[in-house]
Structure 1
Amino acid sequence: MTDDTKRIEAQLEDIRESLEGRPPLDQWHPELSGEIDIQILRDGTWLYRGEPMKREALVRLFATILRREADGEYYLVTPVEKWHLRVEDAPLIAHSLKVSGKGRDQVLSLTLNTGESLVVGGEHPLQLGSYADGEPRPVVTVLHDVEARLATPAYYELADCVVPAEHDSSMLGVWSDGAFFELGSGD
């Protein structure tokens, strides 16, 4: 860890006690401080200066201050600093899926590689895109336009929940938290 990461961690420690839950990133608008040598790989590994970050607590902390802005780029944001970092794909990974209920009453909960859990729904919508090679890219929006990609096991669990849409039986999707998320045509 270097001065940049230590300084960011110290800033967050100073305000952590005053926060309930995630920091209010939508209220923080500092000027760009520059580039920080952090890269998040497609598999969810965080690298600092080319080496995996060993402190899981630091990765979890940094994930709480991660924001994607209108330019499509990702930033670590504190009240006084904003650092650009590189992200290969979605910065977070949803590694497991829990299903409760059935039909319209079904609720899908995902557990992220940061230890957080979230419910797929209006606040955390699910989308199915694809990579250039046609491979499916299932993602859920976490907060501040940050996405979590469903890991293969979670995606296969999700496939078990797919049903035809009520309004168009050729459209397939899943129910969660009272909302239907279209995943594509069954044709």
Structure 2
Amino acid sequence: MNDAIRGTSEAMGGGAATGGQVTPGVKSAPVGGRPPRVPFECGDLPFLIKRDGTWMYRGSPIGRKELVCLFASVLQREADGSFWLQTPAERGRIEVEDAPFVAVELDWTGVGRQQTLTLRTNVDQLVTAGAEHPIRIAHDLLTCEPTPYLHVRPGRGRLPIEARIGRAVYYELVALAEPHVVHGRRMLGVWSCNCFFPLGELPPGEDGCGCTE
């Protein structure tokens, strides 16, 4: 393993990937009332997260999933939208092509308002869509193609850390979609934890049969 990657991993201290779940390191309380240590800023780090969720270091993919999970556990997003890896000692900015994670699997129970959608990311995070983890749709300005995203965890500002929902999972969501009226507009979307997430507007001319308020 490259020494730089190993050093970054070791600097993360208590973080560990066990059983497919990431357990971030726990920071010790300040001693004697001293303020917590401010991480040293390293500037730009040679990391890139590609659109498909692949983590790259100096142009080469990081092959060890447990290491990727460890890095993912200390990923932060600043208010300006930039992404950083931050340990108790150091922090550095990294490049992200789209969203840092990809939702690769969907599990659901129940129907309608009682339906629960749980998505698994490429780093084995399990996220249940709901009020604190909404699903949103973005559209390409040129092609108008939809790209769905899932809120994974908050960032430091209003911009969250998200997972792009993979195409296969998106098709599963479409198969579960049902009509519903949102602010007077007839939408097609999915329910999870009593929250409705629109996937798209019903085309003009649809009779809206089955839509609920």
Question: Could you say which residue in structure 2 is the equivalent of 1:85?
Answer: 94
2:15·2:24 contact (CA, 8 Å) conserved in 1? no
1:33·1:81 contact (CA, 8 Å) conserved in 2? yes
Structure 1 stretches lacking a partner, 5+ long: none
Question: Could you say which residue in structure 1 is the equivalent of 2:77?
Answer: 68
Corresponding position: 1:102 with 2:117: no
Q: How big is the alpha-carbon RMSD for the aligned residues of Structure 1 and Structure 2?
A: 2.3
Q: Shift in Å at residue 181 of structure 1?
A: 1.4
TM-score (norm 2): 0.78
Instruction: Pick the structure with greater CA Rg.
Output: 2
Corresponding position: 1:165 with 2:165: no
1:127·1:140 contact (CA, 8 Å) conserved in 2? yes
Question: Could you say which residue in structure 1 is the equivalent of 2:51?
Answer: 42
Cα deviations across residues 124-174 of structure 1 (Å, max 9, x unaligned)? 111011223222110001113211011110000000121122554612221
Question: Could you say which residue in structure 1 is the equivalent of 2:166?
Answer: 151
Question: Could you say which residue in structure 2 is the equivalent of 1:178?
Answer: 194
Q: Distance in 1 between matches of 2:68 and 2:134?
A: 24
Q: Distance in 1 between matches of 2:49 and 2:145?
A: 20
2:174·2:199 contact (CA, 8 Å) conserved in 1? no
1:28·1:78 contact (CA, 8 Å) conserved in 2? no
Higher-helix-fraction structure: 1
Q: Distance in 1 between matches of 2:117 and 2:25?
A: 25
2:147·2:164 contact (CA, 8 Å) conserved in 1? yes
Q: Which runs of structure 1 show a deviation greater than 6 angstroms over 4 or more consecutive aligned residues?
A: none
Corresponding position: 1:15 with 2:26: no
**Percent identity over paired residues:** 38
State the AA in 2 paired with 1:75. Answer: W
Which is further off, 39-48 or 28-37? 28-37
Question: Could you say which residue in structure 2 is the equivalent of 1:33?
Answer: 42
TM-score (norm 1): 0.88
Question: Could you say which residue in structure 2 is the equivalent of 1:142?
Answer: 152
